[in-house]
Structure 1
Amino acid sequence: MTETITGNEVIRVFEQMSPKHLAFDWDKVGLQVGTLNKPVKNIMITLDVLENVVDEAVEKQVDLIISHHPVIFKPLNQINPDTPKGRVIQKLIKHEITVYAAHTNLDIAEGGVNDALAQALGLSKTKPLLETGKDKLVKLIVFVPEDHAEQVRQAMHDAGAGHIGDYSNVSFSMPGKGRFMPTEDADPFLGKIGEMEIVDEQRVEFLLPHSKLSNVLKAMQEAHPYEEVAYDVYTLQNESESYGIGRIGTLNEGMRLRSFCEHIKKSLDVPSLRVIGDLEESVKTVAILGGSGEKYIYEAKRQGADVYLTGDMTFHPAQEAEEIGLKVVDPGHHVEKVMKKAVKTYLDEKLNQKEDKLNVYISEANTEPFKFI
């Protein structure tokens, strides 16, 4: 019989990819409608939560929607089913569909929206366009019986421990002797009540970002055979990796802006786009920011971008971009739909390793409001 998995467990895994602390402080991320304290079988990934998306979720018997754009962003004065927003929320509650939003944290996260856009366009040597913070590094040390060391080590790696730069599964270990005496209230994995036990153990050390600590500790506890796990956590002064909004990288070969626009249309599945700049000039260094990124035109120029790809450009910022010599391609806001495949791929890899297989769907409902004629 397969075990059920709860919404909380799904989100705990998802937040390894897209931690909430990455989001801007004005953003509305996390649980939006419903509860995560229930079993889930069917999950749907969507860019937006509009009524056609909810209807699709009802048809597929979805328990949990993971959305990029929050369904509730501005405060609501009422939930009125005579309004579009009210109908959406009423349907979600009626059909017991939970909604969880990952917005600017998914923009910033490694493997999130902007990395997916960069990958789709074939950019290499990418880095954040604008740094928004640094994660503190911690050292986690755990003491494990010899014959369980590899099991515990791998579980902690899978939860995010031991990733340093371009290297994964990084750890250090050394042998030693563990000593303990179980008391009358203990239920020991090894040893007898009231008798001293000496065990061959390994001291295993990992570096990890503080943001991943709670997930790694939970994985450690679940994989460790002992009733009481001995471990230490130290905050370090080592330079930690930065994270940030947008990406900047390079094309393998330079191309004319006109050809780059055609490349974007094909790679991101858009019928048309708006362009600022000379279509015959060459571009190679590309800045990207999915969604609305006009306020970062000067950062893109400062970072040396030949062209900046972002959505929702308005008239005067477009003029400013032209004046400072920055080429801009605006394919619209909806290209953020690349997040659907990125999140599904991640959840399939992380969750479907378990026996309790989940169905992770990509929403097929169209939420692009614009038509091109």
Structure 2
Amino acid sequence: MPNENYVGKPLQDIVSKLTDYAPLKLAETWDNVGLLVDPMSSVNVKNILLTNDATEDVVDEATNLNVGLIISYHPNIFQGLKSVSSRTWKERIVVKCLQNNIAVFSPHTSWDSVHGGVNDWLGDAFDFEVSVPIIPNTENPKYGSGRICTLKHPITLEDSIKRVKNHIGISHLRLAVAKGKDQSDAVSSVALCAGSGSSVLKGVKSNLYVTGEMLHHDILEATQNGIHVILCNHSDSERGFLKSFQSILTEMLNKEVGVFVSNVDCDPLITV
């Protein structure tokens, strides 16, 4: 529960810490990142809520927790809004946040790119020797899109499935087995991309692709070329990073702000 004894920090100081951790210039050019909702309040932010998606339920949760800032991994405003009213759920989110003095910050692909971010967290499912970006950042090769991991020791595809399930915390995932192979096949390299991995993983040489979702034809192309594919739902492949970032952000803010992970945020898809 929120602790009203937190000293809190000005919103702009927190935003500065967030952009020091993952500079917004790391984000893809098509993305919409940064401070997306600013209530322009002079009151210190005492509580922060981390979520993968900003839904109306998440905003209600934030209000109940007396949150001054929602950090939503996915942007709550992606394409331009033509109005801010009660007409659509995305508009209502902005209205509710402004009414309750709640700011919204989205890091999205800047967190994917940064070293130690979402893609590196996803790669931690495996015991790897080396992990490097698939598409390195031009200024810093440690940053970039996706990751390709060379494992310390080969493991079976079956073991790879167990590792991904355990790391992400899901009981079911989708699997496409490579042509002519089975779950006993040895895996020594893994190419991964949190979220939607089709464009990043396409054509990458590896034994296994791990991502949230891929297009049918890209899955077919991979399996016909001897590459297994694990799909674990778009936001399920990202959400677990928030628990790791909770402690990182708490320390970044000198324990002066309460940091919470949403209990209501979840992937809209489940396997039944």
State if a TM-score over 0.5 links the two structures.
Answer: yes
Match of 1:286 in 2: 190
Counterpart Cα distance in 2 of 1:363 and 1:343? 13
* 1:109 and 2:131 are equivalent in the alignment: no
Task: Read off the aligned partner of 1:322 and give its amino acid letter.
Answer: T
SS at match of 2:138: strand
- Per-residue CA deviation, residues 64-85 of structure 1 (Å, 9 max, x unaligned), is 1111100000111222314221
TM-score, length-scaled by structure 2: 0.89
Partner of 1:32: 36
1:328 to 214, 219, 229: 229
State which of 227, 242, 260 in structure 2 corresponds to 1:361. 260
Query: Partner of 2:67: helix, strand, or coil?
Result: coil
What does residue 136 of structure 2 align with? 131
Aligned equivalent of 2:254: 352
1:36–1:118 Cα change, 3 Å: farther
What is the SS of the residue equivalent to 2:137?
strand
Secondary structure, in 3 states, of the residue corresponding to 1:258?
Answer: helix
Equivalent residues in 2 for 1:129-168, closer than 5 Å: 129-135=134-140
| Aligned pairs for 1:238-317 within 5 A | 241-277=141-177, 278-301=182-205, 305-317=206-218
Q: 1:125 to 1:28 in 2, by over 3 A?
A: same
In 2 relative to 1, CA 327–320 (structure 1 residues): closer, same or farther, beyond 3 Å? same
Q: Tell me, in whole angstroms, the C-alpha distance in 1 between the residues paired with 2:25 and 2:160.
A: 35
Write out the 4+ residue segments of structure 1 that deviate beyond 4 Å after TM superposition: 1-4
Relative to structure 2, which stretch is displaced further, 120-129 or 311-320?
120-129
| Offset at residue 5 of structure 1 (A) | 1.7
Superposed displacement of residue 271, structure 1: 2.1
Q: TM-score, normalised by structure 1?
A: 0.66
Q: Where does the alignment leave 5 or more consecutive residues of structure 1 unmatched?
A: 136-240
Match of residue 97 from structure 2: 92
How many residues get paired?
262
Question: What percent of counterpart residues are identical?
Answer: 33
Structure 2 gaps of 5+ residues are none
Q: Is the 8 A contact 1:6 1:36 kept in 2?
A: no
- Is the CA contact 1:50–1:367 (under 8 Å) kept in the aligned structure 2? no
Structure with the larger strand share: 1
Q: Give 3-state SS (helix, strand or coil) of 2:204's partner.
A: helix
Pairwise CA distance, 1:99: 0.0
Q: Deviations over 1:161-191 (max 9, x none)?
A: xxxxxxxxxxxxxxxxxxxxxxxxxxxxxxx
Alignment RMSD: 1.9
The question of whether the paired residues in 2 share the 8 Å contact of 1:294 and 1:311 is answered with: no
Matching residue of 2:71:
66
Tell me the SS of whatever aligns to 2:77.
coil
CA contact under 8 A between 2:119 and 2:146: conserved in structure 1? yes
